[in-house]
Structure 1
Amino acid sequence: MEEQLHPAPATQTYVTVILPLAVPKPFTYEVPEPLVPEADFGKRVEVEFGKAKRYSALIMEVTNQPPAAYQPKLLLSVIDESPIVNETQVRLWRWIADYYLCTLGEVMNAALPANLKLSSETILSLSPLFGQDFSDLNDQEYLIAEALTIQKEITIDDVRGILQRKTVYPLIRRMLDKRILYLKEDLKQKYKPKTIGCVRLQEPYASQPKLLEEAFTKLSRSTRQVEALMAYVQISRGLDHVRKQDVYDKAGVDSTVLRAIEKKGIFELYEHEVSRIGGYEETTIEASTLSDQQTRAMAEIRAGFEDNKPVLLHGVTGSGKTRVYIELIQETIDRGEQVLYLLPEIALTTQIVSRLERVFGDDITVYHSRLNNNERVELWNSVLNGKPVLLGARSALFLPFSKLGLIVVDEEHDPSFKQYDPNPRYNARDAAVFLAHLHGAKVILGTATPSLESFSNTKKDKYRLVEMPERFGGLQLPEMKIVDAKQELKERKLQSHFTSVLIDALKTTLEQGQQAILFQNRRGYSPTYRCTTCGWHAECIQCDVSLTYHKYHNNLRCHYCGYQTNLPSSCPACGDKKLVIKGFGTEKIEDELKIYLPEARIARMDLDTVRGKHAHARLINDFEEGRTDILVGTQMVTKGLDFEKVAVVGVLSADQLLQFPDFRAGERAFQLMLQVAGRAGRKHKRGQVIIQAFNTTSPVLREVLAGDYPGFFTREMMERNQFQYPPYVRLIRITLKHTKPATVNDGAKLFEKVLKKRLGDWAMGPAVPYVSRIRSYYLLDFMIKVPKDPKKLAYAKASIREATEYLNQAKGLSNVRVSVDVDPY
């Protein structure tokens, strides 16, 4: 009898997946036989991880190799019918995770819209779009919808209990696609579908056009109704939906006429839902002819592209950079490729968006943080299907481009391109250059005030420099003037926070029917509420910062954690009632300006006034159309705005910008002042810029006054070289956090021991940062200065990982948080 041997194992399929969690490595699962044909790269799958928690993970590899270190769990279901990401995206994710020292799961979390990330705790509710019509639902969908009519909210775990089955993610995905379900966070935004009022024919007229003669006879007693029907017939040719507004405009009638025709059984009035990512419905226009300067710039840009180098377009404000971008975008669309146009903050660039829409119409889509989750999924799919132009803030980098040909990074110097919290702490400008490399696309970085890093790259021949030194149409740059506020204070000319020069200029501007912009980089009414007797000042209970007084709400607020409290009637320390407010923010400027210019119509643009989805656009429109005379704002007023009638721009406190404790303070001050100055005198006449300062001796002010970027660059680079700061070295900031000061101190000592053993003089710290406690967490900082060498940078990162691991394994210190910021900005 033949001896029985072990049977050869059948070939098994495994998938390596990215979980939407901060786990160090991807995880591998075994694929059950029935799911093997469906398990492909880029699809989401339902998996169990940890203690029976379920997540939607993303397949990044299909393999026949089981993991060596653990017995893989079974894959529960495949959620998607087709991939939702492509391989180039995942290569970008890997680069970001490696370069910025975070996990692939954290990058995936930042990249995917919330509706594409499901977990056991995800809370579901009925969509506002679901009209209680259960007739088209299958049995399982019916049970879920019925449960939600009773309970309002359920979790995905509840869905499993209701259906008595474990794998429910594919069903949830289908119900989200059909708009039966909504994620709870969408409802917080009071989402309403975008609809337009439309009109169509009722039966039998809709299906039998020959009967329209009978309809005209019915309406023959009313000339206006006949004209409305005639207008409808003319407009409706070749259209699926006829807007009520178009009938009103063509026939010169109003809604009462259409309702009367509806009562006679001829018209049906209805609401047609249009795509929530919007569409451009106006007539597009031809872009204007290029000027000589723009034509020269285009030739130089093309030469840079032929050398496969990123191009830095250094053009003064008003030089016509956007028109150059439009030309490049059109060429890219004509080649059948996609364009990514990155802006620092999408809400702050209303004018650029509308200008591009006028040229490209429906070819352009806008992606930003104020879209709700369903809008994001729609937009994600439109890019996947080849939408030509995508305009967005930094997170637009993560969209699934398939044929990217051009990336435009507008205002490349702007700090808003840097993600601060949470991970991944990436810089969208640098990531865009890498993304362009992956796609073989061209990249252009545009600004009036280049970052020192980008400009130094042109000196090293890494980037091609193209300059546009003249304003479009031969307009002059504004007249710059620095006013000594200290001298005015001595001479008793200073009126509150306004010099006599500024007040006089504002009065003249208003008399001439012109407008003004005032810039103060601090919001609120006053940054300090203080006792004059004992020196006590109001501080946040969770952060080591002063509370800011907001007059509109009559309370004190923390701009770091959002904590709010009422004003104390007496000093909590000594009981005295002599409490005063010190300093000034945008709210106080707006308030006090009304005393000196009572006739002026004043508006304020800062984080407090643009919280609503369309609040920023309303402020811009009011100013653009002359309903506001003076716009007071924070750095929001420096970005992307182009107004015809701005004659004066005032910078109220240059000192605050220059005295900030950061090695980039001079660079930021130079950029902000020149950017806000660029808002003056854009169309018909030369503008005036008035900069108020108590210390007028700063070299930065002299360089701003002269508009001398080369001089600023040379001096600033000498200082950076002397003190070893970027771009001469790479910086990595490491912050340790804990709610107990003793614990974070012990953690820092242990971390320092490992770090300095490996990195020596490169590592500095621990040190107490400028703001030492935020949201009840005590902070300690380390700073690593790494020579500009890829191998040394990789070694430094490996050392940081080792120190972090060592800390996590130490008894009593495992819950000290470590956050790493590569290239802090």
Structure 2
Amino acid sequence: MSEATYHIPVTETFVNVILPLATPKPYTYHVPEELIPEVKFGLRVEVQFGKQKRYSGLIIEVHQNAPEGHRTKPIIGIVDDAPLINERQLKLWNWLAGYYGCTLGEIMHAALPANLKLASETILSLSPLYDGDFVHLEDKEYLIAEALTIQDELSIEEVRDIIGTKTVYPLIRAMLEKRIIYLKEDIKEKYKPKSVACVKLAEPYASDRKQLNAAFDKLTRSERQTEALMAYIQLEKQQDYIRRQDIYKKVNADSSVLKAMEKKGVFELYDREVSRLGSYEEETVDAAELSEQQSDAIERSKTLFEKQDVVLLHGVTGSGKTRVYVELIREALERGEQVLYLLPEIALTTQITDRLQQIFGDDIAVYHSRLNNNERVEMWNAVLQDKPIVLGARSALFLPFSNLGLIVVDEEHDRSYKQHDPSPRYNGRDAAIVLAQLHGAKVLLGTATPSVETYHNVLKKKYGLVAMPERFGGIQMPEILVVDLKNEQKKRQLQSHFSSVLIAELKGALERGEQAILFQNRRGFSPTYRCSTCGWHAECVHCDVSLTYHKYFKQLKCHYCGYQTALPKNCPACGSTGLILKGFGTEKIEDELKIYLPTAKIARMDFDTVRSKHAHAQIINDFEEKRIDILVGTQMVTKGLDFENVGIVGVLSADQLLQFPDFRASERAFQLMVQVSGRAGRKHKRGKVIIQAFNTASPVLKEVFQNDFPTFINRELRERNDFLYPPFVRLIRITLKHKKPELLNDAAKLYAKLLKTALGSWVIGPAVPYISRVRGYYLLDFLIKLERDAKKIRFAKDTVLNSIDEMQRAEGFSGVRVNVDVDPF
């Protein structure tokens, strides 16, 4: 009997792939047989989506289940050698998508650096760092590099044509890593490698140290040059390379000394490229002795962490919270864990980074939105390789941590932790707590002014509490004066926007050699340009807001869409020349302060002055080194900055903070005023805070004046409970947008019907928001207010999303944009 031949049926392999698009769910592709051994979770694959476009998507599942209802396309190629993400990251992404009502594709788009999201539309350019040496390139790399020397840019489709293969993403990834090519958007950022000015011994002294005596002989006529060579020899024993700055500090010399030594052939001056992730080359320094309060806070935190995962460190401004963070970070590192230190925004990273680098050296890396695409990829890879400490803004949550042990959320109350646009509209503080749960890590929330939600969790015993009620070193809390501007106006003592008290105190501070900070939460020169005859005022053509006058640019600008125009000389409505500027912003304060304090050196810190990557650090540095006497700023100046010579802090208009139409207005006003007050005094003496207001009867002002957080939080919680606002209920805000108001109204009627059929009285709206048109789009808001019940919240979210789909499927409404904001902040 002849032996039968059997064919074993081969089961097809499929992968579920996330694309950086707002698709409702991951897309399924089949895997060609030759690629089956290589596919695994977390790798990027090149795939086709739609008729023409190609993307690098992320594999999140490998399986043998053919999808029903559609034929699968094959993956074209595998981009990576090792996974880019891990399972815990995907769990965080799934939680974010479910909780905030968005898609995994939107999360992926927010999480991955641009260089890791290749697509058909990506444009490539030859790197400005590439030296033009084609000898060591592989054949396909050579073809692309040569083509880019002939034409400046290539699309991915053109790359595909040049090398004659469909699979090009792995090649592009390799060329990006070798810095042969850059994405076009990187070139716009004028990327330059980070370098430090260094010095080394010239030949023959570098290779033959016996000849150093001859070098000293050359320098006998210059004592300073001899000292510089001795300093170099000493530093060489401690460091891998010597910065010119090290020599300058050591012998109190300047660049002329080293240049003279270069001419004599003793030194060679060069620039050394270093990692853009930041490094601290000097010896790490130990911080000063812990205070008793700090020691108690550390021990109390550790005790609470044994039972609770989240602890609130409530310490007044200047109490030394950062040192508590440092000790807990140090202990986490000793356990071999990674640490994430979150700050609400990039503005805070400058001083904190310097402090932490002095203590932890190169163990710490900084991640935030101002890094260019290559810096972000470096950071991503550094965390994949277990970088011990990451300091960053909310986007640092998305980095691929593998062994996270501690998350510090500094200034946990700050609204900058909330992402507003685009989706995902997540809260970085809340997402950090979920991330910690996934890793079994602990979370330390630190602030002088806890958010109402966080303190409510403390009162419910959900979070632990560690209090630091005293300033470090026994320094008193600042003296606070509330100045009644109505009274000043009656007595004709008000000088423009400055009370007589504030001007007198500023003059006194300058005479004593102290510095001052003035806070006004509005940038520009003047927020309104009005006709005194007919009442017309300058409005944005795209948004329903007044245009703000910026004197420096001599332009009226919209702070929502960026529209700008010149000042009209006559009123467009009545032709009158009686046009006047009303109100004041930081630019006007800076300008007018020079009239009253002509000798003072005044600078401004707001969005207009810190747009470039290093501008913020430069302003802080100038203020620290006393090249600035008075710093005028928006809420940037309220956040975590520590200046030892600030004697006076002024809040120029408390009324603007208190009169905002939002249930959080009192909370934000209290937080801002307490935070800015904390900039006064600090290290050597008690400071003074002057708060100017027309309505001095506000209970919030009284609570700030008395530094009375317990009274504030009890009153605020009572009012929130009475009027049903968070933390006692949950809110979901849905905003519908369209350029045609009539169509928007019709869509809102249909959406209201769909929502109210399912959710009934939970739905409020539609209503016209405070600003009813932005960037040419008219807006209508719905608010869903419901009790804190997990099942009801899940049902409400599903209803919101399903109703959006149904509304957009109705004829004529497909173009209506919808934003869903869970827990609006």
User: What CA deviation, in whole Å up to 9, does each residue of 1:143-191 have, x standing for no partner?
Assistant: 1111212221221112112212111000000000001111111122211
Change (3 A) 1:531 1:254: closer
Partner secondary structure for residue 432 of structure 1: helix
**Which residue of the partner structure matches residue 320 of structure 2?**
320
Partner secondary structure for residue 271 of structure 1: strand
Tell me, yes or no, if the aligned pair for 1:570 and 1:577 is still in contact at 8 Å. Answer: yes
Q: 1:97: how far off?
A: 0.4
Tell me, yes or no, if the aligned pair for 1:349 and 1:641 is still in contact at 8 Å. Answer: no
**Which residue of the partner structure matches residue 801 of structure 1?**
801
Change (3 A) 1:36 1:204: farther
- Is 1:756 the counterpart of 2:743? The answer is no
Q: 1:257: how far off?
A: 7.5
**Which residue of the partner structure matches residue 419 of structure 1?**
419
2:819 maps to amino acid: S
- Is 1:730 the counterpart of 2:707? The answer is no
Q: 1:780: how far off?
A: 0.5
**Which residue of the partner structure matches residue 183 of structure 1?**
183
1:36 maps to amino acid: I
Tell me, yes or no, if the aligned pair for 2:195 and 2:274 is still in contact at 8 Å. Answer: yes
**Which residue of the partner structure matches residue 692 of structure 1?**
692
Q: 1:309: how far off?
A: 3.0
Tell me, yes or no, if the aligned pair for 1:349 and 1:640 is still in contact at 8 Å. Answer: no
**Which residue of the partner structure matches residue 459 of structure 2?**
459
Change (3 A) 1:349 1:639: farther
Partner secondary structure for residue 137 of structure 2: coil
Tell me, yes or no, if the aligned pair for 2:308 and 2:464 is still in contact at 8 Å. Answer: no
1 CA distance for matches of 2:203 and 2:215?
15
Aligned counterparts, 1:248-647, within 5 A? 269-647=269-647
Partner secondary structure for residue 323 of structure 2: helix
1 CA distance for matches of 2:235 and 2:713?
60
- Is 1:139 the counterpart of 2:139? The answer is yes
User: What CA deviation, in whole Å up to 9, does each residue of 1:625-651 have, x standing for no partner?
Assistant: 211111111101100111112111111
Change (3 A) 1:453 1:215: closer
**Which residue of the partner structure matches residue 652 of structure 1?**
652
Q: 1:197: how far off?
A: 3.5
2 CA distance for matches of 1:797 and 1:247?
62
Partner secondary structure for residue 786 of structure 1: strand
2:619 maps to amino acid: L
Partner secondary structure for residue 74 of structure 2: coil
Q: 1:268: how far off?
A: 5.4
Q: 1:258: how far off?
A: 6.5
User: What CA deviation, in whole Å up to 9, does each residue of 1:708-763 have, x standing for no partner?
Assistant: 11111111111111111100100000000111111111111111110000000000
User: What CA deviation, in whole Å up to 9, does each residue of 1:68-89 have, x standing for no partner?
Assistant: 2211100111100001111101
Aligned counterparts, 1:226-245, within 5 A? 235-236=235-236, 241-245=241-245
1:295 maps to amino acid: S
Change (3 A) 1:200 1:629: closer
2 CA distance for matches of 1:329 and 1:69?
52
Q: Please, which moves more after superposition, 102-111 or 221-230?
A: 221-230
Partner secondary structure for residue 431 of structure 1: helix
1 CA distance for matches of 2:707 and 2:258?
60
2 CA distance for matches of 1:510 and 1:342?
36
1 CA distance for matches of 2:521 and 2:231?
54
**Which residue of the partner structure matches residue 87 of structure 1?**
87
Change (3 A) 1:659 1:239: closer
Partner secondary structure for residue 443 of structure 2: strand
Change (3 A) 1:508 1:816: same
Using the size of structure 1 for normalisation, the TM-score is: 0.96
Change (3 A) 1:653 1:220: closer
Change (3 A) 1:564 1:232: same
Partner secondary structure for residue 171 of structure 2: helix
Partner secondary structure for residue 581 of structure 1: strand
Partner secondary structure for residue 133 of structure 2: coil
Extract unaligned runs of 5+ from structure 2: none
Extract unaligned runs of 5+ from structure 1: none
1:468 maps to amino acid: M
**Which residue of the partner structure matches residue 675 of structure 2?**
675
2 CA distance for matches of 1:448 and 1:63?
50
Q: 1:228: how far off?
A: 7.0
Q: Please, which moves more after superposition, 7-16 or 441-450?
A: 7-16
Q: 1:457: how far off?
A: 0.4
Change (3 A) 1:345 1:66: same
Change (3 A) 1:548 1:256: closer
Partner secondary structure for residue 192 of structure 2: coil
- Is 1:71 the counterpart of 2:77? The answer is no
Q: 1:701: how far off?
A: 0.9
Q: 1:451: how far off?
A: 0.4
Q: 1:314: how far off?
A: 0.9
1 CA distance for matches of 2:393 and 2:325?
17
Partner secondary structure for residue 402 of structure 2: coil
1:689 maps to amino acid: V
Q: 1:593: how far off?
A: 0.9
Tell me, yes or no, if the aligned pair for 2:548 and 2:559 is still in contact at 8 Å. Answer: yes
Change (3 A) 1:462 1:233: closer
Change (3 A) 1:221 1:724: closer
Partner secondary structure for residue 41 of structure 1: coil
Partner secondary structure for residue 73 of structure 2: coil
Change (3 A) 1:600 1:251: closer
Tell me, yes or no, if the aligned pair for 1:733 and 1:784 is still in contact at 8 Å. Answer: yes
2 CA distance for matches of 1:325 and 1:590?
36
Tell me, yes or no, if the aligned pair for 1:348 and 1:616 is still in contact at 8 Å. Answer: no
Partner secondary structure for residue 559 of structure 2: coil
Change (3 A) 1:813 1:548: same
2:496 maps to amino acid: S
2 CA distance for matches of 1:482 and 1:798?
49
Q: Please, which moves more after superposition, 246-255 or 158-167?
A: 246-255
Partner secondary structure for residue 765 of structure 1: strand
Partner secondary structure for residue 295 of structure 1: helix
1 CA distance for matches of 2:774 and 2:105?
26
2 CA distance for matches of 1:467 and 1:249?
41
2 CA distance for matches of 1:100 and 1:540?
32
2:525 maps to amino acid: Y
Q: How much is the aligned-residue C-alpha RMSD, in angstroms? A: 2.3
Tell me, yes or no, if the aligned pair for 1:14 and 1:66 is still in contact at 8 Å. Answer: yes
1 CA distance for matches of 2:560 and 2:780?
17
Partner secondary structure for residue 783 of structure 1: strand
Tell me, yes or no, if the aligned pair for 1:42 and 1:83 is still in contact at 8 Å. Answer: yes
2 CA distance for matches of 1:539 and 1:80?
51
User: What CA deviation, in whole Å up to 9, does each residue of 1:659-717 have, x standing for no partner?
Assistant: 00111000000000011011111112111111111111111111111111111111111
1 CA distance for matches of 2:271 and 2:751?
62
Change (3 A) 1:449 1:226: closer
Q: 1:769: how far off?
A: 0.6
Change (3 A) 1:356 1:102: same
Q: 1:305: how far off?
A: 0.5
1 CA distance for matches of 2:253 and 2:666?
61
User: What CA deviation, in whole Å up to 9, does each residue of 1:313-333 have, x standing for no partner?
Assistant: 111111111111111001001
Q: 1:243: how far off?
A: 3.9
**Which residue of the partner structure matches residue 60 of structure 2?**
60
2 CA distance for matches of 1:471 and 1:264?
55
**Which residue of the partner structure matches residue 703 of structure 2?**
703
Partner secondary structure for residue 445 of structure 1: strand
2 CA distance for matches of 1:433 and 1:351?
25
2 CA distance for matches of 1:179 and 1:738?
43
Change (3 A) 1:15 1:133: same
Using the size of structure 2 for normalisation, the TM-score is: 0.96
1:58 maps to amino acid: L
